[in-house]
């Protein structure tokens, strides 16, 4: 088992101050940093040198936010937030060649090619959010405004040609008989240096008629990066025939802005927002104050989806469409005093037509079934224990052909994986268990909480996590390990 070097740091400061009877002021400061390193010493520890990649990544992110919440009269609340967000990420990947030295050679003797590809992702965002909510003669009215200015500086730099041994059968190659693809600086190097301002405004009125609530609203936005003006009408209906049952219906349009990495992958990627038409119908059953069951079924039309066109050039286009439907179930309950449980289940069936002549396929990251079971035990005022088990059905699989000796005579032995059908069939399901212990002590106005959070306690692995070993021509299942996180939380009240 190989442990790569990972360093994490999170610092969160939140303060809430009442400055007058009707005004509350909040301050939020977040500073996070993550460093990840995989060098030749980790390659040396890898069984059969299954993963010879060299990786280095560092990300530093900050968020500073101020919130003023004001009560206006007896029925109105006006909330204003201003914030500044900055994120700087630099990641690179290289390659080592342990098969080019005699067996048993030390890691320091491995030929290496460091930082073959380097990706920088710098984002700066300044924003203002204003939300107003008030009661009126019909029910409740809410409206708001969002203004964000985002500056992107993304860049991809490839240091020379780079052979890649996993490819789609329709990826561009100078010779169709070439059984691998070659990334070149000419087709890979790209950058985006843009500063755009986006605006969002919304209004919603809820009409209350006895046991019925009818809500209707409209969201209007100007997306700077998609260069589009979009309108999203939405409605919702609630019916409460008794304290035990609540039925609800929702419908509306939703838009997903282009992803920044896809915009930056190639200068020709002029992308628009993806469109989702959503309808859902649900019910909440609460037999008593301790238990509730919420069930919601939905159907979505997916339009203008962003599709990757070519791995070798990093091109994308809004040419896909599809549909998605499913059901979500959430159960919350108190088993006894101090012991609480939550169970969830989600079923999803989705199809996407990539317009590549292959018809409808399952989206790449979709899972048919996801279920969780959580348990929290508040042992005392000082100690709390929680655990959650998560079950995941497999992601879509690919059909592929493995080719041998693709570099030809006189070259190192290399295998390649040619994907002939994407997202057909399913990989195996998997499960993981997370556990957390909190211990709290009060020292006057200060609350100090120490916690241990263990992710994947049983070190279970998933068939989703596989890599192609192009030195042996086999699929390798990644090892998984438990990830313990230890931390302290400090709360001070005045």
DSSP-assigned beta bridge partners for residue 306? 318
What is the reported pLDDT for 2? 45
Q: Is 483 exposed, middle or buried (0-12, 13-18, 19+ CB in 10 A)?
A: middle
- Check whether 364 has a pLDDT greater than 90: no
Question: Mind listing the pLDDT tens digit for each residue in 180-231?
Answer: 999 999 989 998 999 999 999 999 999 999 999 999 999 999 999 888 999 9
Say how many C-beta atoms besides its own lie within 10 A of residue 188's C-beta.
20
Token pair for residue 343? 């169970």
The band of 405, judged by pLDDT with boundaries at 50, 70 and 90, is very high
Cα separation, 336 vs 379, whole angstroms: 12
Look up the pTM and report it.
0.84
Spatial contact of 91 and 57, defined as CB atoms under 8 Å apart: yes
Number of alpha helices (DSSP H) and beta strands (DSSP E) in the chain: 3, 27
Going from N- to C-terminal start, the domains of the chain cover: 40-49+100-126+143-492
Question: pLDDT over 90 for what percent of the chain?
Answer: 70
What is the reported pLDDT for 1? 42
- CB-based contacts of 391: which residues, under 8 Å, 6+ apart? 369, 370, 371, 372, 429, 430, 431
Question: Mind listing the pLDDT tens digit for each residue in 99-114?
Answer: 999 988 999 999 999 9
Question: pLDDT over 70 for what percent of the chain?
Answer: 98
The band of 476, judged by pLDDT with boundaries at 50, 70 and 90, is confident
Q: Which residue is it, tokens 């190097």? A: 189
Cα separation, 125 vs 67, whole angstroms: 17
What is the reported pLDDT for 464? 66
What is the reported pLDDT for 176? 86
Architecture of domain 40-49+100-126+143-492: Beta Barrel (2.40)
Question: Mind listing the pLDDT tens digit for each residue in 302-316?
Answer: 999 999 888 888 899
Question: Mind listing the pLDDT tens digit for each residue in 154-179?
Answer: 999 999 999 999 999 888 888 888 99
The band of 4, judged by pLDDT with boundaries at 50, 70 and 90, is low
- Please indicate whether residue 356 or residue 248 has the higher confidence score (pLDDT): 248
Q: Is 247 exposed, middle or buried (0-12, 13-18, 19+ CB in 10 A)?
A: middle
Spatial contact of 49 and 99, defined as CB atoms under 8 Å apart: yes
Token pair for residue 457? 């306690």
- Please indicate whether residue 476 or residue 413 has the higher confidence score (pLDDT): 413
Question: Mind listing the pLDDT tens digit for each residue in 229-274?
Answer: 999 999 999 999 999 999 999 999 999 998 998 988 888 899 999 9
Token pair for residue 444? 């006057």
Strands 383-392 vs 190-209: parallel, antiparallel or unpaired: unpaired
Which among 277, 275, 269 has a CA at the least distance from the CA of 230? Answer: 275
Which among 280, 275, 278, 186 has a CA at the least distance from the CA of 237? Answer: 280
Average pLDDT, the chain: 92
Mean pLDDT on 342-363: 92
């Amino acid at each position: 088992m190989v442990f790569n070097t990972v360093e994490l740091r999170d610092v969160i400061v939140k303060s809430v101050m009442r400055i007058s009877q009707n005004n509350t002021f909040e301050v939020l400061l977040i500073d996070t940093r993550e460093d990840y390193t995989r060098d030749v010493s980790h390659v040396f520890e890898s069984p059969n040198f299954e993963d010879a990649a060299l990786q280095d990544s560092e990300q530093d992110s900050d968020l500073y936010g101020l919130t003023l919440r004001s009560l206006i009269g007896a029925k109105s609340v006006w909330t204003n937030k201003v914030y500044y967000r900055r994120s700087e990420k630099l990641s690179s990947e290289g390659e080592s060649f342990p098969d080019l030295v005699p067996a048993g050679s030390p890691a320091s003797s491995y030929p290496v090619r460091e930082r073959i590809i380097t990706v920088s992702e710098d984002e700066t965002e300044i924003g203002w959010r204003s939300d107003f909510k008030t009661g009126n003669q019909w029910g409740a009215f809410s409206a708001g405004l969002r203004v964000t200015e985002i500056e992107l500086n993304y860049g991809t730099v490839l240091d020379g040609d780079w052979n890649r041994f996993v490819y789609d059968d329709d990826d561009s190659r100078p010779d169709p008989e070439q059984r691998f693809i070659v990334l070149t600086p000419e087709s890979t190097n790209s950058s985006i240096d843009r500063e755009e301002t986006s605006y969002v405004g919304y209004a919603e009125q809820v009409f209350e008629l006895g046991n019925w609530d009818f809500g209707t609203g409209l969201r209007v936005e100007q997306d700077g990066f998609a260069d589009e003006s979009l309108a999203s009408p939405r409605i919702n209906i609630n019916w409460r025939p008794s304290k035990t049952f609540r039925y609800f219906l929702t419908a509306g349009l939703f838009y997903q802005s282009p992803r920044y990495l896809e915009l930056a992958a190639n200068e020709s990627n002029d992308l628009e927002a993806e469109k989702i038409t959503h309808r859902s119908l649900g019910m909440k059953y609460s037999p008593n104050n301790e238990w509730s069951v919420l069930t919601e079924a939905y159907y979505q039309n997916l339009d203008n989806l962003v599709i990757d066109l070519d791995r070798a050039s990093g091109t994308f286009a809004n040419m896909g469409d599809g549909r998605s439907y499913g059901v979500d179930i959430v159960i919350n309950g108190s088993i006894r005093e101090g012991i609480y449980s939550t169970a969830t289940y989600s079923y999803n069936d989705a199809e996407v037509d990539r317009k590549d002549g292959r018809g409808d396929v399952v989206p790449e990251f979709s899972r048919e079934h996801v279920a969780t079971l959580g348990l929290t035990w508040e042992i005392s005022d000082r100690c709390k224990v929680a655990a959650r088990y998560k079950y995941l059905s497999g992601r879509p699989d690919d059909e592929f052909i493995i080719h041998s000796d693709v570099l030809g005579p006189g070259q190192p032995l290399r295998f390649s994986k040619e994907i002939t059908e994407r997202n057909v069939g399913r990989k195996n399901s998997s499960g993981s268990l997370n556990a957390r212990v909190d211990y709290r002590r009060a020292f006057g106005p200060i609350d100090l909480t120490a916690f241990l959070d263990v992710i994947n306690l049983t070190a279970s692995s998933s068939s989703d996590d596989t890599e192609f070993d192009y030195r042996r021509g086999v699929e390798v299942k990644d090892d998984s390990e438990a990830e313990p996180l230890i931390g302290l939380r400090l709360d001070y009240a005045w």
